[in-house]
Amino acid sequence: MLRRSVAFKIAATVGFSCLALTLVVLAWVMLTGRLTEGFHLHAIGGTLLAIIVGVVTFLVVKIYLTTPLRKLTEVIVSAVQGNFLSRVKLGTRDELERLGGDFNKLLAKLTDFQASKIDADLELDMAQRELKYKEQLEEQTHIIENTNKKLTRRLSELALLYEVNRMLTSTLEIDEILKMLTEKVGGAVQVDELTVLLIDEKKNKLRIAAILGDPRASWSVNQLVDPMTGLFSESLRKGNHFLIPDLSRVPLKGKDWDYLPDNGSFLSIPMNDKNRLLGLLNFVRNDKQAFSEHQIKLLTSVTRQAALAILNAQLYQEKLDLSVTDELTKLANRRKMQTRLELEWNRARRFNSNLSLLMIDIDHFKRYNDRNGHLLGDKVLQGVARILEGNTREVDTVARFGGEEFVVILPGQDQQTAKSVADKLRRAVYGHNFPRTQSQPGGHLSISVGVAAYPGDADDPKVLLDKSDLALYVAKRAGRDRTVSYEQELERVEADRQKALAAKKNRRRRHKRKPRMELAKPN
């Protein structure tokens, strides 16, 4: 069935109204023909005609135009407010219905678009969340990977340090430790060259103790190095590690040409334990910028372990060298005294400090021994040893030199202070109540002391010992129970002493030859 347009419907309505009007006019003419006299019938007919035409027109417009337009407007307003699910329902089968149908199609497309947009937003939101989670996961993965790398590196370092410590503590022989440092530790820390330098306190120098790599022709093991010049020993003067990232950019001067390569990286770390400086460990790698901050820390830990191992070996060796003490007095024996004197002498020279030495002898000890016996004589020696120990400092060295002679080494003390110490010791021995001293001259036991000091009296430890012995000799000749400090005038006494010793030797020789001459006479 064909749809009719709104215009057709309105035209039909108007035509129908005109037809109705024509019928009304004909009816009116017929009525007016009969009632020509009644004028009011004209008014009634016109009024009825107008009412009929108006009512019909109103009904047609409302049904076919106003109501569909209102429904269409309501749907449009609802769509504007965001409700795309409402639809236009007219049933007029005209242009308005087609318009409503097209609008419904538009609403359907908008609904589909809105649904697609919601789906797209959901997908976008999910994609953003997935991307965020992926970024977080990647970040966490990166953190975990870095942490794993750090843990792996730290475990490798701990394993290396453990292995280094195990190797270095496996022996107390200094030569074995040095060999392990160069051969095993040097390979473990992956360096191309490693040089171990130890402080030689006697000569106040650095001594090359071991070398890893091809040594240059100008230096070798046991060679002495001046610690006060050159980049080679800069860390020793700084008291901290010293790094040259690129040797090719550093102008080498003096001995550095002999001790450093032309290229690569150089790292020097001092070996120390608490306040004791043992030497240096110098590392060389052929690449530039080869020592990172982290590797420097690792090599510093290795150096500390090496320092501890070397110190333990040195202390062990010192204990072996100095382990023998005087069995009777429990003091240092003569050998230990000599070693200690060398050590304190080198320290005094290096730090430009004083060093004094006391040579002590118990007066008339032979007489006491002969009259009271060796047992009481031993008790006197033990008693004097305890008095000397009890009246000196912990840094001082008290040793039995031989027989009834003792030596006291006083680091950091000048001759005048040493003389005061000697007088203090003399008074302490004099005031001690030893058994059976009535037979001694003066009724008591006494000591004589000779004093000599560095740097004023001697330039060699042996000479210092001889000077103090000469001063003791003068004290004994002067009457005993006194302290004598070495002076230049005592050299004349020494000359007289040497003459007396020579004369004594000659007498002994003549005494030995005389019986031989008497035996030869009968022939």
Tens digits of residue pLDDT in 401-431: 988 999 999 999 999 999 999 999 999 999 9
User: In the predicted model, what is the mean pLDDT of the chain?
Assistant: 80
- Do residues 445 and 358 share a domain? yes
pTM higher than 0.75:
no
Q: Which of 179-188, 234-243, 282-291, 433-442 has the lowest mean pLDDT?
A: 179-188
pLDDT of amino acid 386: 95
- Select the highest-mean-pLDDT range: 25-34, 67-76, 449-458, 506-515: 449-458
Q: Which residue has the higher pLDDT, 286 or 99?
A: 286
Residue 516 domain flag: no
Q: What is the CATH number of the domain that holds 405?
A: 3.30.70.270
Where residue 512 falls among pLDDT bands split at 50, 70, 90?
low
Say if residue 296's pLDDT is above 50: yes
CA dist 208 → 108, 133, 221, 280 (Å): 95, 60, 5, 9
Q: Provide the greatest CA pair distance for the chain.
A: 228
Residue 208 domain flag: yes
- Do residues 340 and 481 share a domain? yes
User: Three-state SS for 225?
Assistant: strand
At 123-144, the pLDDT tens digits run: 888 888 888 888 888 888 888 8
* Contact between residue 260 and residue 282 where contact means Cβ atoms under 8 Å apart: no
Q: State percent of the chain over pLDDT 70.
A: 78
Domain boundary among 293, 319, 345: 319
pLDDT of amino acid 233: 83
Where residue 365 falls among pLDDT bands split at 50, 70, 90?
very high
- What mean pLDDT do residues 468-492 have? 87
Residue 117 domain flag: yes
- What mean pLDDT do residues 273-289 have? 86
Axis crossing angle, helix 6-34 with helix 40-61, rounded to the nearest 10: 170
Say if residue 518's pLDDT is above 50: no
Residue 352 domain flag: yes
Question: What whole-number distance in Å separates Cα of residue 173 and Cα of residue 177?
Answer: 6
- What mean pLDDT do residues 293-320 have? 84
Q: Which residue has the higher pLDDT, 332 or 117?
A: 332
Domain boundary among 288, 319, 350: 319
- What mean pLDDT do residues 56-83 have? 71
Q: What is the CATH number of the domain that holds 273?
A: 3.30.450.40
Q: Which residue has the higher pLDDT, 43 or 297?
A: 297
- Do residues 94 and 179 share a domain? no
- Do residues 259 and 365 share a domain? no
- Do residues 3 and 118 share a domain? yes
Catalytic residue among 193, 234, 344, 404: 404
Q: How many other CB atoms are there within 10 angstroms of residue 234's CB atom?
A: 20
What residues form DSSP beta bridges with 242? 268
- What mean pLDDT do residues 167-177 have? 81
Which domain range does residue 96 map to? 1-148
Q: How many other CB atoms are there within 10 angstroms of residue 325's CB atom?
A: 15
Residue 165 domain flag: no
- Do residues 293 and 375 share a domain? no
Where residue 397 falls among pLDDT bands split at 50, 70, 90?
very high
**If we measure between CA atoms, which residue out of 188, 138, 131 comes closest to residue 159?**
188
- What mean pLDDT do residues 376-381 have? 93
pLDDT of amino acid 465: 93
Residue 130 domain flag: yes
Question: What whole-number distance in Å separates Cα of residue 98 and Cα of residue 320?
Answer: 120
Say if residue 217's pLDDT is above 70: no
Structural domain count of the chain: 3
Question: What whole-number distance in Å separates Cα of residue 364 and Cα of residue 362?
Answer: 7
Q: Which of 79-93, 288-302, 308-322 has the lowest mean pLDDT?
A: 79-93
- Do residues 296 and 339 share a domain? no
Q: Which residue has the higher pLDDT, 280 or 107?
A: 280
- Do residues 208 and 261 share a domain? yes
Q: Which of 180-194, 341-355, 429-443 has the lowest mean pLDDT?
A: 180-194
Tokens of 289: 């910028």
Among this protein's residues, is 404 annotated catalytic?
yes
Say if residue 297's pLDDT is above 50: yes
Question: What whole-number distance in Å separates Cα of residue 475 and Cα of residue 446?
Answer: 12
pLDDT of amino acid 65: 65
- Do residues 302 and 330 share a domain? no
- What mean pLDDT do residues 106-117 have? 77
User: Three-state SS for 519?
Assistant: helix
Say if residue 202's pLDDT is above 80: no
